Structure 1
Amino acid sequence: MHAASHELLLLPGFMLDQTLWDDMRDGLSQLGRLHFGDLGQDDSIAAMATRVQQHAPPRFVLIGFSMGGYVAQEIMRQAPQRVIALALLNTSARGQSAEEIARNQAQIELAGRMPFKGLTRRTLASSVHPGRADDQALLDRIQAMALRNGKQVFIRQLSAVRSDGYAALHKIQCPTLIVASRNDQLRSVEEAEQMAERIADASLVVVENCGHMTPLEQPVQLLQILSDWLISQK
């Protein structure tokens, strides 16, 4: 199958939206028809995965970023026959700890009482390369997505517990690309390596000089990685 005939289904991360892909959109559209999953309407990973499938073409190349990578893995559990190939970007199969769940619950309770003003400065800075923690234009783009999503999406997405998915990864049979970034402060290269070890047809690429927000920080390189991988699929 020629790459340009693919249907590409892209899933964003926590409090992000389809503008995450803006710097890559023209290049991605050369690879296939673009579809963008909505992860803002549900408060569980399973429900997000079900909703995405309801609005997706019959078969597709699935590209999940960060939280979207967890949803992508859930789609692989629910409907593996629909996925031609899978790309997991800056994500993991690690479950949340009891401490992380409790911290999120505290944030949910606080958010319910306060006006939503977007993500904290600390949260924004931790999502990019340490050297870009003061790149205001970059941080503003991330914050703009969070503000467009708003309080209810913030609460729903914080409520969506990530359970451990490593045990199910061996069931993934389609070609899989895993992308990690060397300076990602939210998801480690080790987590990506652990996923790659468990998926039979997986290739792992590590992006240097990049934090968590690879589609915004290194869009040209990420597009090349995705393009090379997709074109190599027969």
Structure 2
Amino acid sequence: MTLEVPELTQHTVSTTAGDVAIAEAGSADAPVLVMLHGGGPGASGIANYHQNLPALTKRFRVLLPDQPGFGGSYRPDQAELDAKSITQIAVDALVEAFDALGVGSFHLLGNSLGGAAAIALAQQHPDRVSRLVLMAPGGGWLPFGPTPTEGQKEMWKYYNGEGPTLKKMKSFIGVMTAQPKKWAETAQARYDASLEPSHVDFYHRLNDHFAKRRGMDPLWRDLHKVTAPTLLLWGRDDRTITLEGAQIMLKYLRDVQLHVFGNCGHWVQLERQAEFERLVTDFLA
């Protein structure tokens, strides 16, 4: 049985850097859960997490921000990317947006690029984050194998060369997931979203940004600053942010547990949806 996606309220919040788009669902009286999406082409809060809303809004007021550069949020220009990392840009804009919405403390969940923003926010604003869920997060992971990883190479190639194609998107999802044939409709939707001209321009700037900074911020150096109880969710077959890099997080996070999914890649919330929703609900409750 397909569950109906709850009604979404759309906010456009003005910050000093630009507008941030935030979708909201669930009861206003429920505990707040902020869910930060990853950084792949066509990503947004709704695109990455819409399938999880029927289950999670039973217990939480869910906020789905589009991080700067993605979805309906503003696109950081070159000057901003030269001045700050994309992770810090996201943290600063999101905190300002949450203040504008009157959101004080909240549970926080992030995947990949959104995982990096979630770690940095928990490090810099520990009083705001009640509990933290990280799915293969950038920045907190220290790989033992070659970098860039297979998935990181796919993301870099997507907008380069001849530019976006549906074939490239299917190849990208083939690396992101353990069973790509199951997600054919996802490929088409993500491809269509990836063609938005300002997002294409931003992604070229973002790729150059990562090249100049040699990847994500080394957030693993300050994992001890995270005080929130933390749940790590990882696909055993993740080829983007690989499982062995989780060891440093297990060593240095104060209050941490890890759940590993076999036959699962980078998108736990999609590939192992029911188990993801159960584990997140139980942990946050």
TM-score, with length taken from structure 2: 0.68
- Structure 1 equivalent of residue 259 of structure 2: 205
- Structure 1 equivalent of residue 238 of structure 2: 184
Task: Give the ranges of 4+ consecutive aligned residues of structure 1 lying more than 4 Å apart after TM superposition.
Answer: 113-120
Deviation at 1:147, TM superposition (A): 3.7
Structure 1 residues 144 and 179, CA, compared in 2 at 3 Å: closer, same or farther?
farther
Give the Cα separation in 1 of the matches to 2:106 and 2:263: 31
In structure 1, stretches of 5+ residues that fail to align are: none
Assess if the C-alpha contact under 8 Å between 2:165 and 2:191 holds in 1: no
Deviation at 1:156, TM superposition (A): 4.5
Assess if the C-alpha contact under 8 Å between 1:124 and 1:142 holds in 2: no
Give the Cα separation in 1 of the matches to 2:264 and 2:247: 17
2:173 maps to a residue whose letter is: L
**Map 1:15-94 → 2, pairs under 5 A:** 15=40, 16-18=43-45, 19-39=47-67, 40=69, 41-42=75-76, 43=81, 44-56=86-98, 57-92=103-138, 93-94=140-141
1:11 maps to a residue whose letter is: L
Give the Cα separation in 2 of the matches to 1:127 and 1:201: 28
Structure 1 residues 147 and 221, CA, compared in 2 at 3 Å: closer, same or farther?
farther
Larger RCO (CA under 8 A, 6+ residues apart): 1
Aligned pair 1:8/2:54, yes or no? no
Q: Which moved more, 1:214-223 or 1:185-194?
A: 185-194
Aligned pair 1:140/2:188, yes or no? yes
- Structure 1 equivalent of residue 273 of structure 2: 219
Assess if the C-alpha contact under 8 Å between 2:164 and 2:194 holds in 1: no
Deviation at 1:115, TM superposition (A): 5.4
Deviation at 1:143, TM superposition (A): 3.1
2:90 maps to a residue whose letter is: M
What is the CA deviation profile of residues 151-170 of structure 1, one whole-angstrom value per residue up to 9, with x for unaligned ones? 03423443354022222001
Q: Sequence identity of aligned pairs in percent?
A: 20
Deviation at 1:145, TM superposition (A): 4.4
1:68 maps to a residue whose letter is: G
Structure 1 or 2: larger helix share?
A: 1
Assess if the C-alpha contact under 8 Å between 1:125 and 1:134 holds in 2: no
Q: CA RMSD in A?
A: 2.9
Deviation at 1:58, TM superposition (A): 1.4
What is the CA deviation profile of residues 157-216 of structure 1, one whole-angstrom value per residue up to 9, with x for unaligned ones? 433540222220012111111111111111222222321221111111112221111112
- Structure 1 equivalent of residue 9 of structure 2: none
Deviation at 1:35, TM superposition (A): 0.9
Give the Cα separation in 2 of the matches to 1:135 and 1:17: 17
Give the Cα separation in 2 of the matches to 1:193 and 1:209: 20
What is the CA deviation profile of residues 131-161 of structure 1, one whole-angstrom value per residue up to 9, with x for unaligned ones? 4357523433443443458303423443354
Deviation at 1:120, TM superposition (A): 4.4
What is the CA deviation profile of residues 84-142 of structure 1, one whole-angstrom value per residue up to 9, with x for unaligned ones? 11111122414799x74xx98xx59x74x96554754432211110x435752343344
Assess if the C-alpha contact under 8 Å between 1:11 and 1:68 holds in 2: yes
> What is the DSSP-based 3-state SS (H/G/I as helix, E as strand, rest coil) of the residue aligned with 2:137?
coil
Give the Cα separation in 2 of the matches to 1:24 and 1:46: 27
Assess if the C-alpha contact under 8 Å between 2:132 and 2:229 holds in 1: yes
TM-score, with length taken from structure 1: 0.81
**Count of residue pairs brought into register by the alignment:** 222
Structure 1 residues 63 and 157, CA, compared in 2 at 3 Å: closer, same or farther?
farther
Give the Cα separation in 2 of the matches to 1:155 and 1:77: 29
Give the Cα separation in 2 of the matches to 1:120 and 1:50: 30
Assess if the C-alpha contact under 8 Å between 2:122 and 2:227 holds in 1: no
